[in-house]
Copies of this chain bind each other. A is one copy, B any other.
Amino acid sequence: MKTKIVPRISETEWEVMRAIWARHPASANEVIERLQEVDPTWHPKTAKTLLTRLVKKGALGFEMEGRSYVYRPLVAEADCVAVASTSFLDRVFGGSLQPMLAHFVASRRLTRRELDELKRLLEDDAQKGRKS
């Protein structure tokens, strides 16, 4: 499962990508609306600039639909998540998974439901695919 090469996506660009991954294709205005739902300070012009940049980077594609563009992702969210996660893990925790997990578990109150869910994940992991 080699990770595809994905363009580098900046902090702000991530917000735009997430808006599009959520539902696509999406017009610029749809994207802007979604962004503003989360953060009303988003300026339309700024969003447009980022869309253009993401196209240039190869992260997004677009087609004319009527009088305007609709955008769609050209890179899979899962791939970008994988790349960003590895980068974060290396950078902040020196690549050590366990301390990182410990940090997050300790830093947030998880609901009972989430704890159970997570433990289930660990159980599954422990059961199957264990080599050693």
Whether A125 contacts B104 by the Cβ 8 Å rule is no
Whether B130 contacts A102 by the Cβ 8 Å rule is no
The number of chain A residues with a CB under 8 A from chain B is 44
Residue A42 lies at the interface, judged by CB distance under 8 Å to chain B? no
Residue A7 lies at the interface, judged by CB distance under 8 Å to chain B? no
Query: What residues on B are CB-neighbors of A121 within 8 Å?
Result: 101-102, 105-106
This protein's copies in its complex? 2
Binding site for B on A (CB under 8 A): 11, 14-15, 18, 80-82, 84-85, 87-89, 91-94, 97-98, 100-112, 114-115, 117-119, 121-122, 125-126, 129-132
Partner of A131, one of B91, B105, B109, B129: B109
